[in-house]
Amino acid sequence: MFTLDQKEEANLQMVFRVSAGQRTARELSFQAISLFKMQIKYSKSGIACFLKEDDSDWDPNDEESMNSPCWQVKWQLRQFVRKMILRTYEESIPTTSEKRQNIPPLVRERGLQRVAAHITGTSRRRSTVSIPRSKNEKALGQKINAWETSRKGHSFLNNLHLRNGELVIHQTGFYYIYSQTYFRFQEPEEILGTVATEENRRKNKQMVQYIYKSTDYPDPILLMKSARNSCWSKDSEYGLYSIYQGGIFELKENDRIFVSVTNEQLIDMDQEASFFGAFLIG
């Protein structure tokens, strides 16, 4: 039986030095050398056959080709490589227990937590409060304070809570934040028919909705705003308009988000029309 000299063994070790999960390159090399010691039955020129790329002269249906030592060793090598690739692939797929070990302990203990909130308007009086102004007066509008916090209607709170009209974040991540406010405009009876009617109509038609984030920073941070100027018909009993906006933002634990508006006296806090919410997306 043909044996490999040190130089040929070194060459084969270089050829088969591949990663196979927990199987070391040295183990693969020894297996490859053992396979070749059993299969190679020709002289040192067999290495040249092994390195030859052109297989076009070999016919698998021809008995002479099938009996060729050079063809046999190449066929054995291909089978060995295919087996090692398959084994490497299988070992690279984590088992169910290994997947579970990769899950953070907090997630394993609590399970999948839904982080979401949707709070709706309430008909209670005093639905807005003025926002305490900072020195540079960056916070605009009046904060909507009267949101429905019970599970009446469509309201719910999951792993978030409401405090003073603000949703408090419990878990850091990216959130989709949204809000809609519903404006109802109607002329006060005492000014109807007066010269000041048109001036008051123009003044009251300006509507702006702001969504802010409060952090440890002294001033609230404006995330979104939307403004509308609508022309309501003077012949209608009242005018209706809604503003909706939403976006994705990164929030950290203990951050707070809230909605403020201009012309708070126009807000209609019907639960299907005025609402505010957020949910964790990643």
**Residue 70 is assigned to a ligand binding site:** no
Q: Which of 220, 222, 261 is nearest to 244 (CA)?
A: 261
DSSP label of 146: -
Q: How far apart are CA 16 and CA 241, in angstroms?
A: 73
CA angle 108, 114, 117 (to 5 degrees): 155
Q: Which of 212, 46, 54 is nearest to 134 (CA)?
A: 212
Residue positions counted in the chain: 282
| Listed residue (177, 240, 236) closest to 207, CA to CA | 240
User: Degrees (nearest 5) of the Cα angle 63, 68, 70?
Assistant: 145
Spatial contact of 144 and 136, defined as CB atoms under 8 Å apart: no
Q: Annotated binding site for Zn(2+): which residue ranges? A: 231
Please state the residue numbers annotated as binding site. 231
